[in-house]
Amino acid sequence: MNKSNPDSPQLSVWRLDQIGKEQRRPSLFSKRGCPKGDKVRAKRTPIWPFAFFVLGISCLIGQTLVIRELIISFYGNELFSSLALGFWLLLVGMGSLLFSKLFQKTKPLPVVIISHVLIALFLPLEIFLIRFVKIFTLPGQLPNFLPSIGISFLILIPFCLVLGLFWTMASKVYCQLKNDFSLAITRAYFFETLGFVAAGLIFTFILISLNEFISIYLIITLNLMMALCLAFSAQRRAVFLKSLTIFCLIVFLFFSLSPFGQQIQKKILSLRFKSQILIESINSKYGNIAVTQSQRKSSSLDPSGSVLDQYNFFQNGLLIGSNQEKNFN
């Protein structure tokens, strides 16, 4: 074929053919629509739908716990729950977009396994940080609006970004295993939605009235077990990933079953109530009810000048009365 003459009809046909090939060749996907890159080192096991199912459970229960903690920390102000939900959606979308570019040339399976471990780590960390902020305010003091918004946004960043990263990389693995982009993404959304539905039913009828640490333990257990299953399903040995997941499981079991872990739980619960002794904290579908004990001035000749006989009652972090008030009694 003579390509030197630009007006040659053979050259025109050749150019049209090349243009057609370029248009039919996606930049990031194979000819069936699945992401290109390194071959996925995962076996074709039925465990991958459960990974998206666990993601749905983690998202909904984690979101509910975080919003409830923010409502309690900001004395039942529903504005912060609305802002937290907006920040949540924004950050998950940002995590999915940014990390998909950052880890575009990275093998997706190790990232998915590490994401499961990070989800198990970041959810209790978020709960702790929300309660830790309370120690910088006086009892009963309403926090300033702008700093509270900034704190809420910063606290949500780690957990939400990891959720977005997990969805992107897990979808990439599942798509390559199925070798069909549209079918894989449809099923991924379907199993994640099933996780949302299951989490909503479980939280509404069981977890809502239980201690929040039980919900956190459920999320940690599901994610670490799923990470362990995915690590053992890898075609390669993945010694580091298996060791990391097993180590995290051992630490979690020690923390949750030992008396030391119970003491840490009580300390974290008492962070809401500065200079008070937490007697009881109970969750219900109407909110959180807490009873604390504090000192009051005594007119007796007690050397300390105070006695521990005042019981305070809180609803969603807001003081509703004490046993020393005549009107309250």
| Domains of the chain and any CATH numbers | 48-269 (1.20.1250), 273-322 (no CATH)
* Mean pLDDT estimate for the chain: 81
- Find the mean pLDDT for residues 154-162: 94
pTM of the model: 0.81
What secondary structure, in 3-state letters, does the chain show? CCCCCCCCHHHHHHHHHHHHHHHHCCCCECCCCCECCCCCCECCCCCHHHHHHHHHHHHHHHHHHHHHHHHHHCCCCHHHHHHHHHHHHHHHHHHHHHHHHHCCCCCHHHHHHHHHHHHHHHHHHHHHHHHHHHHHCCCCCCCCHHHHHHHHHHHHHHHHHHHHHHHHHHHHHHHHHHCCHHHHHHHHHHHHHHHHHHHHHHHHHCHHHCCHHHHHHHHHHHHHHHHHHHHHHECCCCHHHHHHHHHHHHHHHHHHHCHHHHHHHHHHHHHHCCCCEEEEEEEECCEEEEEEEEEEECCCCCCCCEEEEEEEEEECCEEEEECCCCCCC
**pLDDT of res. 37:** 44
Of 19-23, 94-98, 210-214, 320-324, give the lowest mean pLDDT range.
19-23
| pLDDT one-digit tens code per residue, 94-137 | 999 888 788 777 888 899 999 999 999 999 999 999 988 877 77
**pLDDT of res. 43:** 56
